Structure 1
């Protein structure tokens, strides 16, 4: 439908945004183009499983226009469009959330309500406003939050980068040095990209710790050269907890960035949990600071690359073959202790890849779980 030709002072868009999708964004954009001020009410029920503050943040990110205010609140009133008392209970919630938007929002009457729902006429009437229907037949955006919750993969193209990042299944490849973690992460991403469609944008996250080590050694070598000392080697590097905090933070930041750009699955060559073990390896003790970064990470499956049957290749940056059995066992112990779902990869590269793909396919086949919205 065409954009409204008249200009409104205060437009209203409301919904659960559970989660937000392109249909919601069309509503808000339409209102923003037609109104001096837009209030978007994100109304969650306490039984739902996506936090309210997260939904509010997603909508705010997608609509940064200064005249669009995104407000959040809880509406635990049941839905019954035929019951006047329930309608009035909802209106009490709506007015309360509107009032939380500041004096200007509270004092400026809503004169336009933008919806794609059958209840739009009654909602507008109760506000004393005009109802502006937007794509009520879902012809522009054939999507709904119900469909997203049922099958995020089928609705992927209708989701914003922030929602995609939250939904993407994150698979971590971990293992001792020279056990093929990078090779596996890269191969998995290529295998899923080859499936085409929504999977064509599948990404993998390189190991930042390796880049950090290159840069740390290069700096030490430059300092040695300037001081007239022999070239620095890996044995000359002095590691601190702050180094590992930086590595864990940067790893997580890059992971979150790529999750926004990719498909419903993201492959990670290591993660902050692995960084906690490397801290233990180099400094001899665990770090609460690095553990705190690891606690913020959200992952769905770990693939542990066994050192057995994989020749050790020294590239000048690795500890040595003798440490690999210990590292493999530490990964096993830590994953078991934390109850993390993982699959150990053994055999040839081809066998490992088949095992990994089967495990990831099983993860994806389980789908996504959401609490039912309040009816």
Structure 2
């Protein structure tokens, strides 16, 4: 006797809790589930990215198999009998008689089942269990954050870089902001890899970008809408040139991870404190000039954070709300 096999297909743009509930529902009704991620070139979220989300979410589910297609067939936001017939022919060509059930939340599931001579199992058509849609999430991901699949959240999370020369409070403020906004932060890996600035080599500097990028990727997995990052790749490049006259080249993926939505530039209007890892107070103003030059050379906008510690924190909170949370 052949296994009962459910087909769940869609764009999953992005994968959300409604999709997950539907796939689990299909797994409860059939002995196995094929999830087909359907993509086309013009769509706003790349297909391979969506495939990765579904694979990651169901990687340990014994009944679920995730597949991918970029077949150029028509789509419609409405349930269309003619479009359903075209897709039904494609499913039959791809799977033969493997599919016994199709699971959807839409009327087109009836049409697909009819053309394929299989059963349509309707799941929560009124979206009472998970009142959300992928369109709503794309329009305002932060409003619908709780419905976004955990695997997809790093794609929508925004990154804030705490930037500036030595001893301006970047590390302290990074932690404070993460606590205030109930999220995660990426620590400065340079402080971990190079604990003594007087005993630092260019080889030590070269290790920092990859370590810092991996720290960002790790913390993004659990970030709540925004991730605060203590320094960035530009910081490391400034130090490489300042200390060793070296131009730092990195892999493309490290460059990509080091793209930020907001730069907070902490000014030097606070006392310098030597903690044993810093070059010294005599370097701070020159480093500040180089940090400004670095951002301006790359046409990166930034916002000054100045004043006493309380004022600096208040400015940072206000900017995060205005520039990040209130516009997404």
**TM-score of the superposition, structure 1-length normalised?**
0.79
- Give 1:135 shift: 2.0
Q: Structure 2 vs 1, CA of residues 122 and 89 (structure 1 numbering), >3 Å: closer, same or farther? A: closer
- Give 1:153 shift: 1.9
Q: For residues 48-78 of structure 1, what are the alpha-carbon distances to aligned partners after superposition, in whole Å with 9 as ceiling and x for unaligned?
A: 2111100000000001135422222234514
Q: 3-state DSSP class of the match of 1:11?
A: strand
Q: In the alignment, which residue of structure 1 is the partner of 2:54?
A: 59
Q: Structure 2 vs 1, CA of residues 125 and 367 (structure 1 numbering), >3 Å: closer, same or farther? A: farther
- Give 1:296 shift: 3.6
Q: In the alignment, which residue of structure 2 is the partner of 1:209?
A: 190
- Give 1:137 shift: 2.3
2:33 is equivalent to residue 38 of structure 1:
yes
- Give 1:18 shift: 0.9
CA contact (8 A) 1:8 1:34 kept: no
What is the CA–CA distance in structure 1 between the aligned matches of 2:113 and 2:174, rounded to whole Å? 52
Q: In the alignment, which residue of structure 2 is the partner of 1:19?
A: 14
CA contact (8 A) 1:116 1:133 kept: yes
Q: In the alignment, which residue of structure 2 is the partner of 1:72?
A: 68
What is the CA–CA distance in structure 1 between the aligned matches of 2:241 and 2:316, rounded to whole Å? 27
- Give 1:83 shift: 5.2
Unaligned runs of 5+ in 1: 1-6, 100-105, 194-201, 218-233, 369-375
**TM-score of the superposition, structure 2-length normalised?**
0.90
What is the CA–CA distance in structure 1 between the aligned matches of 2:77 and 2:84, rounded to whole Å? 7
Q: In the alignment, which residue of structure 1 is the partner of 2:305?
A: 345
What is the CA–CA distance in structure 2 between the aligned matches of 1:94 and 1:330, rounded to whole Å? 59
CA contact (8 A) 2:209 2:250 kept: no
- Match 1:49 to one of 39, 44, 68: 44
What is the CA–CA distance in structure 2 between the aligned matches of 1:275 and 1:95, rounded to whole Å? 55
What is the CA–CA distance in structure 2 between the aligned matches of 1:11 and 1:290, rounded to whole Å? 42
Instruction: Report the more deviating stretch, 173-182 or 83-92.
Output: 83-92
For 1:1-375, what aligned pairs fall within 5 Å after superposition? 9-64=4-59, 65-74=61-70, 75=72, 77-79=74-76, 84-94=81-91, 99=94, 106-193=95-182, 202-214=183-195, 234-235=197-198, 237-241=199-203, 243-289=204-250, 293-307=254-268, 309-365=269-325, 367-368=327-328
Q: 3-state DSSP class of the match of 2:264?
A: strand
Q: 3-state DSSP class of the match of 1:288?
A: coil
Q: Structure 2 vs 1, CA of residues 211 and 95 (structure 1 numbering), >3 Å: closer, same or farther? A: farther
Instruction: Report the more deviating stretch, 333-342 or 161-170.
Output: 333-342
Q: 3-state DSSP class of the match of 2:321?
A: helix
Q: 3-state DSSP class of the match of 1:141?
A: coil
Q: CA RMSD in A?
A: 2.4
- Give 1:94 shift: 4.5
